[in-house]
Structure 1
Amino acid sequence: MLRISHPDRVIDPLTGLTKLDLVRYYESMADRMVPHLKGRPVAEVRGPQGIGGQQFFQRHDPAAEDDEAPLQIASAEQLLAAAQLNVIEFHTGNVKLRAPAKPDRMVFDLDPGEGLAWPHMQEGAELVRALLHELGLQGWLKTSGGKGLHVVVPIAARWSADMVKAVTKATVERLAQTLPERFVAKSGPANRVGRIFVDYLRNGETATTVAAFSARARPGLGVSMPIHWDQLRELESGAQWTVQTARDQLSVEKHDPWAGYADARQSLTAAIKTLGLKFAPNAAGPARGRSRKS
């Protein structure tokens, strides 16, 4: 049995949740969470003194001979061992380790600007879904565990990271150009006041996104929870579920909200053409410039 050091240390002063509470949460979620971690490069947010203390972002395995070797979590035992070492958040990259040059997903991170009402976030997520549908793609929805929402698009691992990033960037730019009162494609607080910044930089070669079911190192210990699109209108915030309530939510689910996600292998060919991007026949990456056709 795993020995937990300092089990009574308070991780979140707002709720009084302790390190033991967090480890028990991850133990209860391991069967759901490990499939989202296994086989991917993992990055961890460690908080030895809880969310109020200094935090460390770690992406390389300190036990490996290669200093650049990515962290990996392939079992419940490894997940709990990381939690014992004060890991609060778990993030994953967009590639599988067996094919590190070819992403198998795209992530659209919807981040609300100051003053944006939550119903506009719900509408924004639906608009992203609608544009993806026009591009021949299906997205799966999850809360961020913080203020926002994530739309995750599984794809066939055929295109380079540069090509995938180009597709997400062009998609976000189209949103911002079509609905400038709702979306912005530039980061920075001043640019997004009252609007949604859709962060396509989550699709950079080494970028990561918080994993499904991971806690967040923020007051309340919100959880990034996969949900069905039908649940969007009932959602009250991006941190609706927490370490204290997430398991109860799963216990009342009648169907897996992400059914089909793990087996989806969607093509980007139609999206590339619709967005006016050029690419070489071997799909190595985007060509310079864009086609004249819109």
Structure 2
Amino acid sequence: MANRSPALELDVDGVAVRLSSPDKVMFPQLGADGGTKRHLAEYYRTVAMFDAGGIMTALSQRPTHLQRFPDGIEGEEVYQKRIPAKRPDHIGTCTVTNPNGRTADALLVRHPADVVWAAQMGNVTFHPWPVRCADTDRPDELRIDLDPQPGTGFAEARAVALDLLAPLLDELGLVGYPKTSGGRGVHVYVRIEPRWDFIDVRHAAIALAREIERRDPSRVTTAWWKEERGARIFVDFNQTARDKTVASAYSVRKTPRATVSTPVTWAELAEVEPDDFTIATVPDLLARRGDPSAGIDAVAHSLDGLLEMSARDTANGLGDLPYPPQYPKMPGEPKRVQPSRDRDRTRGNQSD
């Protein structure tokens, strides 16, 4: 058995965090020179202790799930919704209710040391809920996920964000904060008043997605079923459903280069590439130009405009869209049947 490297103790804003096996390689392509557990922990310490913004803006007071790779990204993946019973005293929890009605105690991020402790646990990506622990039933964040489908990539997602989404947000009086997903997609967050439940926020997201699709159906789709999407950008409205999460800003992703989901300005979005942002490059970028999403909490917006659009769509015969398969059947939801397997639709087509 290979000898383990001795544990280290990291000072994280006055809190000692023990880091075991710091030389363990988490990202094999980067190896010992940039892809170890220590590199991961040091990255998270830097972005957690940044003065204005950084990962604490994305995670603070939010129940958070962990995407852990205890033996590196080529090993077993553990998507951890419940925080371990054995944990340091500084680690807090937040009770959330899942779609099946069961509750779970998730990590509650309150201090930069909580972020580094998660890295010690082999966590690569943080998945925060769009709520604060003070009220876990009412989101304060509208998350717009532009998801490239086969035949498209980051360039197409970026173009949809710039050409279609940004003008629509301006028309609605909403301020959006874009970031790379760390992969091929683009995420845009809007801070909202926490007075609507998950169903309302999801209906607002569907209305926004449908309006983008109307403006350019050749490039954008809201089709839940993959067989109907084609080579277009899917606006994933179900990322706003209860218990669905998105990789946080400044989260590392499971990629060979250890790419990072990174906030950018709208002007930067026009020029950047996802591979520009890694655990090696983001700390220097953050120190040099600051965090473009640092001001996201300054103004909380109303969803009234989007909910009015949703009501108009409903009046025009556009009902709800399918939920993910693990959810209970929801009121007003259409059948969760893949179109090519829908016997009623097939029979209707044959009789036309």
TM > 0.5 fold call: yes
1:276-287 to 2 correspondences below 5 Å: 276-277=310-311
Distance verdict in 2 for CA 1:188–1:242, change over 3 Å = farther
2:248 counterpart residue number: 211
Larger radius of gyration: 2
1:124 counterpart residue number: 160
Letter in 2 for 1:138: V
Shift of 1:257: 1.4
Moved more, 183-192 or 148-157: 183-192
Shift of 1:121: 2.1
Please tell me whether the aligned partners of residues 142 and 189 of structure 2 are also in contact (alpha carbons under 8 angstroms).
Answer: yes
Encode CA deviations 1:262-286: one digit per residue, 9 max, x unaligned: 122101112222x1428xxxxxxxx
Distance verdict in 2 for CA 1:117–1:51, change over 3 Å = closer
Please tell me whether the aligned partners of residues 112 and 192 of structure 1 are also in contact (alpha carbons under 8 angstroms).
Answer: no
Distance verdict in 2 for CA 1:20–1:259, change over 3 Å = closer
Please tell me whether the aligned partners of residues 66 and 81 of structure 2 are also in contact (alpha carbons under 8 angstroms).
Answer: yes
* Equivalent in 53, 60, 65 of residue 38 of structure 1: 60
1:229-248 to 2 correspondences below 5 Å: 229-237=266-274, 239-248=275-284
Please tell me whether the aligned partners of residues 276 and 292 of structure 1 are also in contact (alpha carbons under 8 angstroms).
Answer: no
* Pair 1:21 & 2:24 matched: no
In 1, the alpha carbon distance for the partners of 2:196 and 2:94 equals: 30
Unaligned runs of 5+ in 1: 279-288
Shift of 1:259: 4.5
Distance verdict in 2 for CA 1:100–1:164, change over 3 Å = same
1:284 counterpart residue number: none
Choose between structure 1 and 2 for higher RCO, CA contacts under 8 A separated by at least 6 residues. Answer: 1
Secondary structure, in 3 states, of the residue corresponding to 2:261? coil
* Pair 1:172 & 2:194 matched: no
1:282 counterpart residue number: none
Please tell me whether the aligned partners of residues 94 and 107 of structure 2 are also in contact (alpha carbons under 8 angstroms).
Answer: no
Unaligned runs of 5+ in 2: 1-8, 10-16, 86-92, 96-102, 319-352
Encode CA deviations 1:190-214: one digit per residue, 9 max, x unaligned: 4444211111111011111111111
Letter in 1 for 2:64: V
* Equivalent in 97, 101, 113 of residue 77 of structure 1: 113
* Equivalent in 98, 105, 110 of residue 141 of structure 2: 105
Q: Count the aligned residue pairs.
A: 281
Distance verdict in 2 for CA 1:160–1:247, change over 3 Å = same
In 1, the alpha carbon distance for the partners of 2:226 and 2:140 equals: 30
**Sequence identity, in percent?**
32
1:281 counterpart residue number: none
Please tell me whether the aligned partners of residues 46 and 56 of structure 1 are also in contact (alpha carbons under 8 angstroms).
Answer: yes
Shift of 1:186: 2.0
In 2, the alpha carbon distance for the partners of 1:155 and 1:189 equals: 30
Please tell me whether the aligned partners of residues 145 and 240 of structure 1 are also in contact (alpha carbons under 8 angstroms).
Answer: no
* Pair 1:202 & 2:236 matched: no
TM-score (norm 1): 0.89
* Pair 1:12 & 2:27 matched: yes
TM-score (norm 2): 0.75
Encode CA deviations 1:63-102: one digit per residue, 9 max, x unaligned: 2798612221211111111111111111111111101111
* Pair 1:263 & 2:278 matched: no
2:193 counterpart residue number: 156
Secondary structure, in 3 states, of the residue corresponding to 2:144? strand
Distance verdict in 2 for CA 1:34–1:270, change over 3 Å = same
In 2, the alpha carbon distance for the partners of 1:292 and 1:150 equals: 29
In 2, the alpha carbon distance for the partners of 1:100 and 1:87 equals: 23
